[in-house]
Structure 1
Amino acid sequence: MRTLLIGGNGFIGSHLVEGLRAAGHAVSVLDPRPARDDVDWSGVNYRCASHADETVLGEMLADCDVVLHLASTTVPFTSNANPVYDVSTNLVDTLRLLGAMRSRGLRRIVFFSSGGTVYGNPDSLPVEETHPLRPVSSYGVVKTAIEQYLLMYHRLGELDPLILRPSNPYGPRQAASGRQGFIAKVLSCLHDDAPLQIWGDGSAVRDYLYIDDLVSLVSQAVNGAECGVYNVGSGIGHSLNDVRSAAERVAGKTMNVEYLPAQGFDVRGIVLDIAAAGARFGWRPRIDLEEGLARTWREGG
């Protein structure tokens, strides 16, 4: 299978590159950043360009069977500050990508949506895929809109989309400097003996998924023709304070915590119902939080 990863240089993308290559797939990457130096890119067709570059995009699409779309120029924290930028660089550029695929008769796309933002503040936990979508960030609104366009083109018989809604993936190589990746930030603070800032009182609940479990599902799903929407998480919720305590046990030391005012665009709690992905793909996550934290800590975050 010839796979094209748009946004393959990031945390999730670089792990997928390794997993797909190990599974025997031919892997190409289209990413505007130079290839990171902590990944072996041997045998990977890497193009340093944006998927908004229609010429380069066309060349890459001509040599692939399935597109994995992971790219995003925003995170929830930044998206509300400039929703016009969010829409123009994520929604509009994705629509151009879909148009380029359709014009070439390329039907298969795996889109990485967001199980942490598209539902907003859910009515109950865990959240099934059929729950109403009520995002409270522009990031979630744009992810939802892209999902709807993909499903529209599927109904029109023009695309075969698989939409994945990952929860909060974590693991080695996740940057601690950004606004996403709470576990990466916690482990970085422990490593540097630095204080940890938590927005809110630390009671917000999240569903954390170790990166190898996400790669395992995608490696299976990319081979098939399944379409539709699937949650991908651990199915277990942990508060921010729980995560901090577990990380302290793994590291064998404690940390100082500074609690800051809660942010309106952060959901209060999210845990994903993953029964559909389990039934369809025969998949289940295997790495629990404490083991995942330990693996990430040992590998330097």
Structure 2
Amino acid sequence: MNNIDKPVVITGGAGFIGTNLAARLLEKGHRIIIVDNLSRSGSQRNLQWLFDKYSNLLQVNICDIRDSYKMSEIIKMAGTVFHFAAQVAVTKSVENPVEDFKVNVEGTLNILESIRRSDDPPFLVFTSTNKVYGKLSNVKLVEKGLRYHPVSDIYCNGINENTLLDFQSPYGCSKGSADQYILDYCRTYDVPASVFRMSCIYGPHQFGTEDQGWVAYFLFRIIQNLPITIYGDGKQVRDILYIDDLLEAFELVVKNKENCNGHAFTIGGGPSNSISILECIQLLQRHCAKFPPLSFAPWRNGDQYYYVSDTSKFNNLTGWKPSVDIESGISRLYEWVSAFISSEESSVVKEKTI
């Protein structure tokens, strides 16, 4: 970060992305303040891992971004803020839309208000989602093998920031609202910020669910020979981005904040890192040499059949391009997941032996 004298605040810092970013910045000597309520599975493990390696530069606040007073006090100390804390599951947003709104919208407003009132406002980087573009029903598709392909060449480079916003599901509405609030605070109050509308991110310290973090989720299931449910026909396509490439993008957006301020960017692996659900499962099965049973369930409401990021806008401003291809990224994730499962099994054996 540009100002190494002031700490970097990471909300949701014990989550998958937050843990990886914190570790990268701590390795470079930055002081980090993590804000997390530890509600997500695996967050306590991630936090312990960070403490074991970097406790001298790490401060942790176990609190909720909906606590406006605490957030105000924390933001006062920040040189840069990465806002990752969120309710991230579409299914949970449908079950409890009020909770989803309070976390994703009200929590974000607390952060924005704290920055707006600051004498020295820190630069804010917010992780939004491709769900702000809705189902993308206007993108006509054709089936080819195990995946869908766009009929028009216009979409072969991916979906860009000029695509019409179309919030669907309570989750899409709440994340989209936060996305738009941040861009409007840039215009109205000169709050310095950029928004990343991200596709699927994967890598170490991701535990994953059927809803979110599905690459890691599938890998955990396959290694443990557990059945997998596919929603839809499995031919839906996403571009996946390895975590190290995302971390590089985070550093570049801060380095180029004068040019990136006030902008939203689609961020993902792009066309060269696109893969269907079925293709991904086959790739993971090859790595694991295991073939657990697959079953199919109805499509989820609003699910995109095809989403690939066009990252040319961010590339033009910063020079960023993904460098880790799918094969390399999956191999790295496989090594981490295998080691994690082995360590967990060893711990269980030790506990039973004592």
Question: Aligning the two structures, in what range does the TM-score lie when normalised by the shorter sequence?
Answer: over 0.9
Instruction: Find the counterpart in structure 1 of residue 63 from structure 2.
Output: 49
Asked if structure 2 preserves the Cα contact closer than 8 Å seen for 1:250 and 1:290, the reply is no
Asked if structure 1 preserves the Cα contact closer than 8 Å seen for 2:9 and 2:80, the reply is yes
1:36 and 2:73 are equivalent in the alignment? no
TM-score, with structure 2 as normaliser: 0.80
Query: 3-state DSSP class of the match of 1:36?
Result: helix
1:13 and 2:45 are equivalent in the alignment? no
1:283 and 2:315 are equivalent in the alignment? no
1:177 Cα shift? 4.2
Aligned partners of 1:26 and 1:220: how far apart in 2?
18
Instruction: Find the counterpart in structure 1 of residue 143 from structure 2.
Output: none
Q: How many residues are matched?
A: 300
Out of 152, 173, 178, the position equivalent to 1:146 is 178
Q: Which of the pair is proportionally richer in helix?
A: 2
CA distance 1:78–1:68, shift in 2 (3 Å): same
Q: Which has the larger radius of gyration?
A: 2
1:300 Cα shift? 1.6
Aligned partners of 1:74 and 1:220: how far apart in 2?
25
Asked if structure 1 preserves the Cα contact closer than 8 Å seen for 2:71 and 2:110, the reply is no
TM-score, with structure 1 as normaliser: 0.94
Out of 278, 282, 285, the position equivalent to 1:245 is 282
1:224 Cα shift? 3.3
Instruction: Find the counterpart in structure 1 of residue 127 from structure 2.
Output: 112
Aligned partners of 1:155 and 1:213: how far apart in 2?
29
Runs of 4+ in 1 over 4 A off after TM superposition: none
1:56 Cα shift? 2.4
Aligned partners of 1:296 and 1:275: how far apart in 2?
27
Asked if structure 2 preserves the Cα contact closer than 8 Å seen for 1:136 and 1:267, the reply is no
Partner AA of 1:55 in structure 2:
Y
Q: Deviations over 1:193-233 (max 9, x none)?
A: 11111111111111111111101111222233221111110
1:270 and 2:307 are equivalent in the alignment? yes
1:135 Cα shift? 2.5
Instruction: Find the counterpart in structure 1 of residue 352 from structure 2.
Output: none
Query: 3-state DSSP class of the match of 1:113?
Result: strand
Aligned partners of 2:189 and 2:104: how far apart in 1?
23
The correspondence of residues 90-239 of structure 1 with structure 2, limited to 5 A, is 90-105=104-119, 106-115=121-130, 117-122=131-136, 123-124=138-139, 125=155, 126-177=158-209, 179-225=211-257, 226-227=260-261, 228-236=263-271, 237-239=274-276
Query: 3-state DSSP class of the match of 1:88?
Result: helix
CA RMSD of aligned residues (A): 1.7
Q: Give % identity.
A: 28
Asked if structure 2 preserves the Cα contact closer than 8 Å seen for 1:7 and 1:29, the reply is yes
1:183 Cα shift? 0.9
1:79 Cα shift? 1.1
Aligned partners of 1:291 and 1:300: how far apart in 2?
14
Partner AA of 1:163 in structure 2:
V
Asked if structure 2 preserves the Cα contact closer than 8 Å seen for 1:23 and 1:219, the reply is no
1:285 Cα shift? 0.6
More displaced, 237-246 or 117-126? Answer: 117-126
